[in-house]
Every structure is written in structure tokens, then in C-alpha cells.
A and B are shown apart, each in its own frame.
Chain A
């Protein structure tokens, strides 16, 4: 019988190996699922892991999906490291799109002088709007100790309904044949593209800069350190005089701002207008990205790309193999599940356990001493 035994120290090796192991488990289950659905598993896996990176066009599309995922996951990683459970990034993302979208709609003759720099206030508005929506969570948790998990999630539904009202009411395009959508934003508001003809835009650069920024913040600043201590050992943080209230506000404002930034980039980028379809589940998928990326900025790049492959693979599996697009969600969920299970091996090791009590043979201690000495 196998038994879990606590490791004296968390295994560094396993913390790197665990996401790969989890991916392997997800792939194995995926192969089983393809066979069950009567599809060629090799073709199925190709859709997810080969087709998206086959050419430049594919890579550009991948970057369009990976950018919001990475941005939101970076913010969430700060939250989760400080033990603040913001799971409402989707709502903060919607608010970012609303803030950015509103500024984009104000563009006109009077703003022409700004040229493409008009994108800067759009993104700033997105950040502020996302921060605002997260600040409500922080306020209610701070003042009334209301559970941030439930509050942040409830606010996703509220933000979604607010978006629905705006695009059906005050913000509706008067010439849009009564479709629930705003006007198409002017060309000036468009997030500039990196290369002509591909959808990849400067959001990628912003995301990479954010990765660097978060790495510095988490591992090279006093504030970042205090935040993490608060998450790992609240008592130690208190003793050291790190404010837990400050950490709560900081974590929520950062993650709200990042989700808002992603929302504004999406609204003024690939979308170009607001519709009820602004929320695409990035806020929830980013939770998985943050975890699979080990809550580490560099890890989040890889997991963000992986999750985007799941998105694009799901779309391809639908169009080419006639499989439901919902496969994406199944695989994303499976990945997080297997990751959490594999993570156990960071703190515990598997030992075969013999029910019959054998006295430990004496030479073993000698052997241990020898290895130690060598």
C-alpha cells in the first residue's frame, strides 16, 4: 500500500515537474476522450498542440489570447501569494472594457491631435475601472470582513448585467439596427498592431513588460516581500509589523487593475466595440494560468501560452473535427485538477507501506550516515 509521508522540505524539483506531470495526465485523459468520441487522438492532439504554432498567423492568434490571460494571471498571482482570494477577475475585466470603451467612444475631431497616443488614456481608464470594481471587494472585506471569494464572484454577475444594460440602452449604437452593441470605435483608438496583417498588437509588449515588472515587485521590493510573508505566515507578518489591511488593498487593487488593463486592451484591440460578448471567460481561465504558472511571473508566460493553445485548439477541434468547443473548458478544468493533485508531491512523498511491523534493520542508519558523509 502506498502512503503519503511529509517531506522534511518542499521539493523544488517537484514544483517544476508537477505542471508537466499535470499536463501529461490531462493529455492522457484527452486521448481517452478523443477515442471515446470516435476521433483519431493524434489528429485531436494536433489541433491543440501543433496547429496553433504551425505558422506565423497561428502564433499571432495565440498571442491575442495569451495577452489577457497573462496580464490577469499576473495580478491574480499577487493576490493568491498574499492569500487574498479574488476570483472575480472576470468582472474587473468587464469593468476595464467598460472604462476603456467609454474613453474610446469619446474620440472624435477634438482628440485627433493625440494620434495613436489616444490609446494611453483608454488603457488608463481600463486600469482605473478594474481597480474600482476590485476596490469594492477590498472595502467590504476590510470594513465588514465580508468573504472576498463570494463578493468578488457576485460582482462578476453584476458587471455582466451592467454591460448588458449599457449596450442595450445608453451606449447602444443608434444606427446599429437595434443590435446590442456600441458604435465601432474610431481607428484612432485602435491598439496599434505589431505587424501589418496579423492581429498581434502591442498588448504583447505590455504583457512582457508587466512580467518583468511583477518579477521585480515580487522578488526585489520590500512591499512585494511583505505581501508574500503575509500570505505564507500571517503571524510572522504581524510580528514584523507588515499591515495585513495594506496587503489586502494592494493585492486587490493590483489584480483589479491588471484585469481592467486586459479588458481595455481587448475592447480597443481585437473587439473594437462593446457587445454582450466582451466577457470570454479569460478572468476565470486566468486563475488556472496563475496556478499552473506556479504564481511566478515567468511561469505564467508558459502557462498563458498553454491555455491559449487550449482555446485555439478547442476552436479548431470544432471546425475541423466537429467536436464541441466546450472541450476547451473540460481540458482547462482537468489541467487544474491534476495540477493540484500533483502538487501534493511537493510536500509529501509516496512511500510503500508494509502493514506488518518490521523492525528497521540497523545497517540502514549506517548507510544513511555514509551517504551523508560522502
Chain B
């Protein structure tokens, strides 16, 4: 039972970064912009957050630094794709490549650094319950924040006027423009917020989850988060669900390893990537399902008056 509780706890923890990045990317995709630079953003945010935490001793300042760096880089990407109409796929790739190099460059002197002991969290009373206590209620606050953010996003998208406008911009920028909404500014704001969320996720990985800095440490989580939005057919709650699913797959490899299952570590390591492919295949093969939910202008530039 204890092992299972720990596996559950580890799954939630592993899924949290994916969930935060995933719902961030969902926001900008709902506005019609696909940011393939997520991996690069998360890498730069990871080192920014890690370095800040090393120097200040505060993981929350680290998260802030991660969010800020994510928002700045994403805005740069946004300026290129929204105002200069560059190709979204190519520009996102450029961001990922740049982020990989830039983070390695920034992080050189932090490779050997260690963070101080992090406090243990436990929700009073609930944390002391048998089984569910260690499984669900002794997590880092960010695990719960991810859930709250998901609920907030769902409420924002489907229950507020601003959310409606955001979706309109993603579905039909021409109509939104005709109604007088500043399509490009809304898109830029969505991209910046999405970048900040990716940054938060990156900083969470380097400051809490791992916690250390290694070159390329995001190891494809940015790309998996991108796949999550498709998997979730652009619904916030499904992003969260998918993130926990992937968290579970990631944890499964350590669980199997720990329980003496004789599969080479490399094959266990392939699990998250292979499951991403399998999941993409399963979701995409149902064309109607994807088409019904995908923001209609996703990836397409909008140039008012053209």
C-alpha cells in the first residue's frame, strides 16, 4: 500500500510541470498561435529559476524568474510571428534551438550547484490520513496550484467575456477584427501568458522536481506538453488528466526498475516518448474529433487589412 501511495504522489508531482506548461500552451493555441519553442522556453526558465534560487535561497523567487524569462522569450517569439508574420513552425523551432544553446551557455557555472534543503509540505489533518495522506496531501503547493490554474482557465475560457473573445480570436481573427477587437495584441498577450506558464513549469522542474541543473534537462517535456494540447483536444481539464497520465508513465519506469523488472533502463526511458506517439496516433486518427475542437486559425498568421 505504501509503495502505491508513493507512486501516486510521484505521479502527481511528475505530471504537475507538464500540466502547467500544457495549459499555458493551451492559452496561446486557443488564440490561434502555436508555440513550438516551448522546450527552449522551459530550458531557459529552468536555468533562470535555478540560478535565482541558488542566489536568493527562495524557490518562489525562482518561480518568478522562470515566469519572467518565459514571458520575455515568448513575447519575442510573439512579436516575430504576430507582427512580422514569420512562419510559426520555423520561428518556434528557432526558439527551441536558441533556448537549448542559450540555457547551456547561462548554466555552465551552475552545473555543480546544489539547492538547500527544501521544506516538506503537508496539509494539516488531511496529510495525516492513512494512504490518501501520503498519496495526495503531502505535495508541494505547486501541485495544487496547477489544479487551481486548470479550473481557473476552464472558467475563464467558457464563462467569461474575455475568454470568449480569446476563443473568437483563435477561431476567426477576421471576425474578431471586424468587431473591433485588437487581434494582434490579444494574441501577443496570450503568447506571453503561455510563455510565463511554460517558464513556471521549467523552473518547477529545475528547482523542485529534479532539483538540479543539467544541460538539456527538460528532455522533451516541452514537446510532450505540446502534444498534450492535441491529446486534450484543447480542453483544460483533459490537459490536466493527460499530464497525470504522462506523469504516471514517467514514474512507472522508476517503479518497474525499483521492483527488479528486468527490462533495460533505456527501454523504460523510451516509455514517455513512445506513449506520446501512441497517444497522438490514437487521437489524430479520429479526424472529426480533432477538427471539432481545434482552433480554426491555429498556426495561421493574421495581417489586418490584407
Contact = CB atoms under 8 A, between A and B. Distances in A.
Does A associate with B in a complex? yes
A340 B285 contact: no
Interface in A283-327: 284-285, 287-288, 291, 324, 326-327
Q: Is the interface of B mostly helix, strand, loop or mixed?
A: helix
A120 interface: no
A99 B80 CA distance: 40
A144 B104 CA distance: 36
A118 interface: no
A208 interface: no
Contacts of A11: none
Contact of A330 (B86, B95, B101, B230): B101
B280 A146 contact: yes
A154 B93 CA distance: 14
Contact of B264 (A6, A154, A169, A331): A169
Contacts of A240: none
B94 A337 contact: yes
A161 B266 contact: yes
Contact of B102 (A145, A151, A333, A348): A333
Nearest to A327: B105
B162 interface: no
A324 B108 contact: yes
Contact of B284 (A146, A169, A336): A146
Interface string B79-109: 0100111110111011101111110110010
A334 B284 contact: no
B48 to A, nearest CB: 15
A58 interface: no
Nearest to A143: B285
Interface in B229-265: 230, 264
B98 A336 contact: yes
B180 to A, nearest CB: 19
A340 B230 contact: no
A144 B277 CA distance: 11
Contacts of B274: 154, 158
Contacts of B105: 324, 326-327, 329-330
A334 B40 CA distance: 13
Interface size class of chain A, counting residues whose CB lies under 8 Å from the partner chain: 35 or more
Contacts of B277: 140, 146, 150-151, 154-155
A253 to B, nearest CB: 19
B284 A333 contact: no
Contacts of A332: 97-98, 101
Interface stretch (B24-32, B204-212, B219-227): B219-227
A333 B220 contact: no
Interface string A142-166: 0111110111011101100110110
A161 B101 contact: no
Contacts of B148: none
Nearest to B91: A340
A330 B219 CA distance: 18
Interface of A: 4, 6, 85, 87, 140, 143-147, 149-151, 153-155, 157-158, 161-162, 164-165, 168-169, 284-285, 287-288, 291, 324, 326-334, 336-337, 340-341, 343-344, 347-348
Interface of B: 36, 40, 80, 83-87, 89-91, 93-95, 97-102, 104-105, 108, 215, 219-220, 223, 226-227, 230, 264, 266-267, 269-270, 273-274, 276-277, 280-282, 284-285, 287, 290, 303, 306
30 contacts: A6-B306, A145-B290, A146-B277, A146-B280, A146-B284, A150-B280, A157-B270, A158-B270, A165-B266, A168-B264, A285-B97, A324-B108, A326-B108, A326-B215, A329-B98, A329-B102, A329-B105, A330-B102, A332-B98, A333-B40, A333-B97, A333-B100, A334-B98, A336-B98, A337-B91, A340-B84, A340-B87, A340-B94, A341-B80, A344-B86
Given A285-B97, A340-B87, A341-B80, 9 more contacts: A140-B277, A154-B276, A158-B270, A326-B104, A329-B97, A329-B104, A332-B98, A333-B100, A337-B91
